[in-house]
Structure 1
C-alpha cells in the first residue's frame, strides 16, 4: 500500500508541471464573484476620490536681473541673483502682494459635500441655490468679491456665512458668536459687536438670492508665511542672473495673478529704491550747483565793482599808460636835475634860475609820485582782478563738472529703472500637474481588478492548505486502520525528502 501511494505521488508531481498554470488560472477564475466584488469596491472608492480630489495647477515666470550701470571707480557685484532671490521671498514684497490681491480675505462658495465641487466645475452658469431650496448650496459659477473685511483680532480665522438677499442686499452671520449684520452690495457695512467693530465691503457678486458663501479673514502675516513656503524660487543655470519663480495651487487664475503681482511689486520696489537714491544724489548735486552759481555771481559782482571804482573796463591799458607817463616824468625829472646841477656851477643857491629849476624839479617829483601812487592802486586792482578771475575759473570748472555729473546721473537713473525685467509673465495653466480625471478612473479600475485577482489567489492558497491538511489526515487514518503501523515512519521520511 505504501509503495502504491508513493507511486501515486510521483505520478502526480510529473503531471503537475504541465498543467499547473492551467489549474491555477482556473482556480483563480472560479472566484469570479470575489474578483468582481473587490474590483467594484476599489474602483468605486477610486472614482469617488478622483471626483472629490481638487486638481493642482502650477504657474511660473522668469525674471532677468541686469547689471547696474556704475560710475567710474565703482565696483559691480558679479552674481546679484542670490540676493535678489531672498528679496523676492521677503515679507516686504509679499506683503504688498497680499494687500493688493486681498489674499488675507477668503471667499468660498458653499458647496454640497463630496459631489458639489465636481458639479460646480462642470456648470458654467449661475445656479438656483440650495438642495430642494434649502441649505444655500451653490452649483455653478457663483462668486463674490470682498474688498474690505475688517474685524477685531478675536474674530480672525472665524468662518462667517455671507447670504445673498434680494435688492442687492446681503446678510453676514456667525452662528457660534451670535453675530448678524445686513448690508448693501457695493456699500460699506458696519456693525458694532461686543468683540469690536466689523466692516465689510462686498464689491461685486454673481449669485441668485439665497446663495451662501463662507468668508473669513486671516492675519496677513500668516498668509505671507504660507506664500514664503509655497513659492519655489531658483536661479536658472549657474550665474545666469535669470530667476525662475513657480507656484502651485488649486485655482489656476489665482496663482497666475499672485505671480504676476509678485513680479510687478518687485519691479515697483526696485524702481522706487533706485529713484529714491537718484533723487537724493540729484538733490545733492543740485544744491552744489546752486551754491557754485551763487559764488560765480558774487565774483562777477566784485569784478564789476572793481572796474567801476577805477572808472575803466581795461586796467591793463590804463596801467600801460601810467607806466609810459612815469617813464616820461622820470626822464624829465632827470633832465631838470641835470640842468640844476649845471646852473649851480655858475650861480648861487638864491639865483632866480636856480629857484625856478628847483621849483620845476619839485613839480615833476609830485607828478611822478601821484602817478606812482596811482600805478600802485592799479596794480592792487589788477591783482584783485587776477584773483577774482582765478576763482571764477575754478568755480566755473566745478560747475561744469557738477552739471556733467548730474546729466550722467540722470542717464543712469533712467537705465536703473529697468534694472530688472520680466522675461516671461505667469500664464493661467490649463492642465493640472496631477493626473487627469479619466486617467485616475482607469487607474482605479485596473487597481481594483489587480487587487481582486490577488484576493482570489490568497483565498485559493488558504483553502488549498486547509484541504491538503485534511487529505493527509484522512489517508493516515485509513492506513492505520488497515494495520500498517510503519506508515507514520514512511510518511514522515517521505515528507522530509519532499521538503529537501
Structure 2
C-alpha cells in the first residue's frame, strides 16, 4: 500500500471519528461491565449503610387558626370597633411566629439553649443505642466512656461565662455524682444530682442522671441568638389552603419529646403575645383616662364650690324657665363636644387628620360649636344675675357630666381589657409522628444504586473515549501501515507481569512463555509471524531483524525473545541481541547477567565468543546488553557494530535485535539502518495511531522501510469492532 493511499484514506477516517459509534459505546459498556457492577454494588452498600446508621429525624405538627380581629366584646359598639384592626394577613402572622420575640421566649421556656448529648461511639454508636430497649444502661466491657443506650440526663440549669458560650464541655459520671471537664480535659467542677454546683463562673444543676460510672456527655451552653437560629432552622410555618387563616406549624429534630415541647412552647408564646397585642390599645386608652381623672374631679369640685358661694351671696337665686331651657341645651352641647374630644384623642392615635372618619368628626365638632355660639348670644340678653347663675350652673353640670362620662369610659375599657381573648386559637396541640421522616431509607438506597450505576457507566465511557490507543488493526491498514500479526494477550504472561510488579521487578527469571507454555495462543500467533517473516525476508539484504516500538512497555522484549525461541525450535540457528544498552532486561529472562554483553563487545573489551551465551533452547544464543555505557549511540555508530552484524550474519540463520523505543532515543534508527528487516510493535489500546505514524515517520526520515506492525496484547473486547474472537491467523503479511 502506497503513501498516497494512506493520505487519501485519512479524511475518510476523520469523518468516521466525528460520528458517534453506538456499537462501540455498547461494546465499552460490555467490556467494563464488572467495573460498573462493582461500583454500583459499592454505592448500594454505602447507601444501605447510611440508611441504617443515619440518625432518624422526627416531625411534630401543630395547627393554629387566625380569626378576624374583634374588639373584645360586641356590646360596646364603637368602643369595640375602635380596637379592632381588621384581618391580619397570613404572611404577617407567619413572620410574627418566626420572629426572635416568639422563638426567644420559647427557647427560654423549654431551655433549648442547654444542649446535652451522650457521647456515642463513632459511626455505629447511635445505631446500637437506638436498638437498646432495656431500662438500665447498657454494659460496655470496652470503650466504657461511650454511651451505648439507656442513659438519661436532665440539666435544668447551666450558666457559663460569655467566653464559654457555644463551646463544648464534657460531663463524666462518677460513683458520687459527676465531673465537668473543659476543652483541655481538665476538671473544672464537681457536683451531685439535684444539687446546684458552682465554680469558676460555671453553675450547673443536674436533676436527673442515669448512666454507668465513667460515661461521658457533651454539654453546650448556646448563646440566645444561636439557640433561636437553630430552632428557626427546623421550624416550618405555612398556611393550609388559600386565605383560610389556618396555619400549620411543623418542627423536625432527632428527639421526639424535645420537638413536641418546643413546638407547643412556640404556639403558646404566639397565642400569649396575640392576646397582649389585642389588649394593648385598651391599656393605652385606660392609662390616658386614668391620668385625666384627678384633674376632672378637681374641676368639678371647684365648679360646685363657686356655684354654692354665689347662691349664698345672692340669697339662693333660681333660674327661670327660659334660662333653664338654655342651660339644658348648653350642657347637652358641652356633653356632645366632650364625647367628640374623647373620640378625637383615640382617632389621633389610629389615623391622620386626612382620614374620612377623622374629617367627619371634625365637621360634627364644628357644627356643635356653632350651635353653642348661638346659645351663648341668647345668654347675653339675660339679666346679669341670671347670666352669672346660668354660667356657674353650666360649668358645674358640664364638669359633672364630663366626670361621669370619664368614669363610664374607664369601666368600659376595663371590661374590654378583661374580655380580650385574641384572634388566635390552638386547634391541635403539637404531636410527633411515631415514624421518622428522615432518612427515607428505600429512596436513599435506590438513589445510591442509581448514582453508583451512572458513575460506573460514566467512568467506563470516559475511560474508553479518552483512551486513544488503537484497538482495531483496520485502523493501521487505513493509515497505510501493514499488520504482520496480531498477538493475543496471554493470561499467563499477564499474571507473571502483575506478580513481578508487586515484587518491584521488571521480569521474573526464566519466564520465557515459549518454554513455560508453548501451546499458548500468543505463541501460536508468533508462529504465524515466523511464517510471514520467512517470505518477507527473501528480498532482504541480510538476515538481521530489528524489532522496535514507539514507546516503552509495548512488549518488544516479549516479542523478540519468544520469536527467537520458536524460530530456534523450528531448527534455525538464532542469535538474540539485546540492543537496548540503557534499560534492556532480556538477560533476566535467560537467567544471565547484564555484564559481558553488547557494550563490552562494541568497545573491544570482549571478543564474540565471550559475549555470546547459550540459552535453554537448542540453536538459540543470546548477547546481553552489557554494562550501561555513557555513549550507547556512539558505540552503535562505530564500525565494530557493522563488523559484528556481518560476522554473526554468517554464523546464524537469523539475528534478532531488541531495540529501544524509537521516539525516546536514536539507537533503534542506527540499528535498523543495518538490519535487513525492521518491525514495530504496538500494544493494544495503548499506542494512539498518531504516535505510531510519528514513529514510522522517524524511521522513514532515515531511509528505513518498516515492514509492518506487530499488534501485541490484543484483548477480547466487545468494543474492538467485533475483534473479540481475535482471528489470529487472518492477519498474515499483506504486500
Give the shorter-chain TM-score range.
0.5 to 0.7
Structure 1 vs Structure 2 CA RMSD: 4.1
Normalization by structure 1: what TM-score?
0.64
The structure 1 segments of at least 4 consecutive aligned residues displaced by more than 6 Å after TM superposition are 33-40, 444-451
Aligned in 2, Cα 1:79/1:158: closer, same or farther, shift over 3 Å?
closer
1:474 has 2:728 as partner:
yes
1:394 has 2:414 as partner:
no
Structure 1 portions without partners, runs of 5+? 1-23, 318-378, 486-500
Cα separation, 2, equivalents of 1:130 and 1:118: 16
Cα separation, 2, equivalents of 1:398 and 1:211: 75
CA drift of 1:311 comes to 5.5
- The correspondence for 1:426, drawn from 421, 425, 430, is 430
1:148 has 2:152 as partner:
no
Find the residue that maps to 1:426 and give its secondary structure.
strand
1:436-457 residue CA offsets vs partner (Å, 9 max, x unmatched) = 65x4798599879989x999x9
Find the residue that maps to 1:421 and give its secondary structure.
strand
Q: Report the equivalent of 1:121.
A: 130
Aligned in 2, Cα 1:127/1:117: closer, same or farther, shift over 3 Å?
farther
Cα separation, 1, equivalents of 2:202 and 2:52: 38
1:145-184 residue CA offsets vs partner (Å, 9 max, x unmatched) = 22222222332333222122224x2111125263432012
Cα separation, 1, equivalents of 2:212 and 2:392: 86
Q: Report the equivalent of 2:205.
A: 201
Q: 5 Å matches for 1:248-259?
A: 248-259=252-263
Cα separation, 2, equivalents of 1:470 and 1:76: 84
Larger proportion of helix:
1
Aligned in 2, Cα 1:132/1:467: closer, same or farther, shift over 3 Å?
farther
Cα separation, 2, equivalents of 1:251 and 1:316: 83
CA contact (8 A) 1:38 1:448 kept: no
Aligned in 2, Cα 1:128/1:260: closer, same or farther, shift over 3 Å?
closer
Cα separation, 2, equivalents of 1:273 and 1:75: 11
Cα separation, 1, equivalents of 2:424 and 2:448: 51
Aligned in 2, Cα 1:237/1:413: closer, same or farther, shift over 3 Å?
farther
Q: Report the equivalent of 1:51.
A: 52
1:68 has 2:72 as partner:
no
Q: 5 Å matches for 1:69-218?
A: 69=70, 71=79, 76-128=85-137, 131-132=140-141, 134-167=143-176, 169-174=177-182, 176=184, 178-192=186-200, 197-218=201-222
Cα separation, 2, equivalents of 1:386 and 1:276: 42
Cα separation, 2, equivalents of 1:271 and 1:181: 44
CA contact (8 A) 2:168 2:183 kept: no
CA drift of 1:264 comes to 1.3
CA contact (8 A) 1:68 1:416 kept: no
1:234 has 2:242 as partner:
no
Cα separation, 2, equivalents of 1:301 and 1:45: 96
Cα separation, 2, equivalents of 1:435 and 1:158: 28
Cα separation, 2, equivalents of 1:239 and 1:299: 57
CA drift of 1:432 comes to 1.9
Cα separation, 2, equivalents of 1:126 and 1:210: 19
CA contact (8 A) 1:59 1:428 kept: yes
Find the residue that maps to 2:301 and give its secondary structure.
helix
Aligned in 2, Cα 1:69/1:252: closer, same or farther, shift over 3 Å?
same
- The correspondence for 2:251, drawn from 247, 272, 278, is 247
CA contact (8 A) 2:60 2:256 kept: yes
Cα separation, 2, equivalents of 1:56 and 1:403: 58
CA drift of 1:109 comes to 1.0
CA contact (8 A) 1:65 1:80 kept: no
Aligned in 2, Cα 1:234/1:38: closer, same or farther, shift over 3 Å?
closer
CA contact (8 A) 1:189 1:199 kept: yes
CA contact (8 A) 1:58 1:433 kept: yes
CA drift of 1:107 comes to 0.4
Find the residue that maps to 1:55 and give its secondary structure.
coil
1:368-417 residue CA offsets vs partner (Å, 9 max, x unmatched) = xxxxxxxxxxx766544322321233223323433343344334434543
CA drift of 1:468 comes to 4.3
CA drift of 1:428 comes to 1.7
Cα separation, 1, equivalents of 2:303 and 2:266: 55
Aligned in 2, Cα 1:291/1:157: closer, same or farther, shift over 3 Å?
closer
CA contact (8 A) 2:46 2:448 kept: no
Structure 2 portions without partners, runs of 5+? 1-25, 72-78, 321-382, 462-714
CA drift of 1:218 comes to 2.0
CA drift of 1:48 comes to 2.2
Cα separation, 1, equivalents of 2:260 and 2:730: 77
CA drift of 1:281 comes to 1.6
Cα separation, 2, equivalents of 1:229 and 1:42: 30
CA contact (8 A) 1:126 1:140 kept: no
Q: Which region of structure 1 is more displaced relative to structure 2, 439-448 or 202-211?
A: 439-448
Find the residue that maps to 1:418 and give its secondary structure.
coil
Cα separation, 1, equivalents of 2:261 and 2:433: 11
1:13-51 residue CA offsets vs partner (Å, 9 max, x unmatched) = xxxxxxxxxxx9xxx9xx9x9999778755543332122
